Amino acid sequence: MSMNVSFIGLGVMGYPMAGHLANAGHTVTVYNRTTAKAEQWAQQYSGEVALTPALAAKGADIVFMCVGNDDDLRSVVYGENGVLTGMADGTILVDHTTTSAEVAREVSAKAALQNIAFIDAPVSGGQAGAENGVLTVMAGGDAAVFAKVQPVMAAFSRFSQLLGEVGSGQLCKMVNQICIAGVVQGLAEGLHFAKQAGLDGEKVIETIAKGAAGSWQMENRHKTMLAGEYEFGFAVDWMRKDLGIALDEAKNNGATLPMTATVDQYYADVQALGGGRYDTSSLLARIEALHKN
Ligand SMILES: NC(=O)c1ccc[n+]([C@@H]2O[C@H](COP(=O)([O-])OP(=O)(O)OC[C@H]3O[C@@H](n4cnc5c(N)ncnc54)[C@H](OP(=O)(O)O)[C@@H]3O)[C@@H](O)[C@H]2O)c1
């Protein structure tokens, strides 16, 4: 069923996600802080550009958002021209930004005062997942509301799951990032060891990728790691935000995350090397930089 939807935040992720909604036949209105990007989007896809989040949200059944961090989310939701000033009673607000669980609960409570339902719905699958419409969505919120948005999110996802009440999607995303941190550091050390041992890194991966050591990171990142290419993908700055959120949450729930805390510091080293916008696989660049010194 075609719906009136809005999309706030046309970054690496939001731009193609909004595009898939338009291609699926929904009536889409977009807002982006940098208007030129929204205008470019409207030339590529069928849809309208709005000049504020509130104007974009007017008349929408569902408003989707994908901005940077907790404060960015607060500004597009509650700011002077935030989406809550434009949304109608009985509509739905969905957030795909990776944020703290706390801000998800805060936004949900404010939205509820206007009888607007909220779903936190961070995603995994990266830039390629967004472009190919095959993201994984981890959601938190009311089951009946989730049932309404799930078929719409299917335009850009291949799997979505409700994990529990509001905030549960963000908690699941924290688990995702904790798992990735260890896997990428292991892969970086493995490739470094292979080189030191005089092995052909490509052949090593071809051999072990289908066995017990295989992973998405191994399949999708080993070639660029071997080539020393990091100017793409999921930025280290974003990963530090995400690991910081997970480490803060661990203080609340008592979880012990020694490896996550260590890899977070390794990413701080990558930032110090000037790699804040590098892909997270740049942990190998850190090892190689240490090795040279
Ligand atoms: N990239 C990935 O592989 C990936 C994967 C999974 C999850 N995520 C998460 O998805 C979110 C977006 O990531 P991304 O890679 O798409 O980031 P990005 O390319 O940096 O895009 C961020 C978007 O948010 C907008 N924005 C940021 N702060 C804003 C503010 N205060 N007010 C209004 N708009 C604001 C930006 O507008 P401008 O264009 O004006 O800057 C841009 O449209 C992040 O939470 C990230 O952690 C990313």
- pLDDT tens sequence for the chain (293 residues): 899 999 999 999 999 999 999 999 999 999 999 999 999 999 999 999 999 999 999 999 999 999 999 999 999 999 889 999 999 999 999 999 999 999 999 999 999 999 999 999 999 999 899 999 999 999 999 999 999 999 999 999 999 999 999 999 999 999 999 999 999 999 999 999 999 999 999 999 999 999 999 999 999 999 999 999 999 989 999 999 999 999 999 999 999 999 999 999 999 999 999 999 999 999 999 999 998 87
Indicate the pTM of the whole model. Answer: 0.96
Catalytically annotated residues: 173
Ligand 1 midpoint to CA 174 (Å): 17
Domain boundaries, the chain: 4-165, 171-292
Which of ligand 1's atoms lies nearest the C-alpha of 69? Answer: 45
Closest CA to ligand 1's atom 10: 97
Mutate to test the pocket of ligand 1, among 8, 13, 127 (most ligand atoms within 8 A of CB): 13
How many alpha carbons fall within 13 Å on the CB side of residue 61?
A: 12
Q: What would the DSSP string read from start to end of 60-79?
A: -SEEEE--SSHHHHHHHHHS
The phi, psi pair for 92, rounded to 5°, reads: -125, 135
- Any residues with Cβ below 6 Å from ligand 1, and which? 9-14, 32-34, 37, 66-68, 72, 75-76, 97-98, 123-124, 126-127, 234, 238, 242
Ligand 1 midpoint to CA 67 (Å): 4
> What pLDDT does residue 31 have?
98
Tokens of 147: 């049932």
Which of ligand 1's atoms lies nearest the C-alpha of 96? Answer: 10
Q: Which of 219, 215, 216, 185 is nearest to 202 (CA)?
A: 219
The angle at the Cα of 14, spanning 90 to 45, to the nearest 5 degrees, equals 90
Closest CA to ligand 1's atom 30: 72
Ligand 1 midpoint to CA 77 (Å): 15
Name which CATH class applies to 4-165.
alpha beta
Are 153 and 222 contacting, i.e. CB atoms less than 8 angstroms apart?
no
Ligand 1 midpoint to CA 68 (Å): 4
Q: Which of 94, 93, 92, 101 is nearest to 70 (CA)?
A: 101
Q: Which residue has the tokens 């974009």?
A: 56
Tokens of 145: 């509301």
> What pLDDT does residue 104 have?
98
Mutate to test the pocket of ligand 1, among 69, 238, 240, 282 (most ligand atoms within 8 A of CB): 238
Q: Which CATH number fits domain 171-292: 1.25.40.10, 3.30.300.20, 1.10.1040.10, 3.30.70.3290?
A: 1.10.1040.10
Ligand 1 midpoint to CA 25 (Å): 24
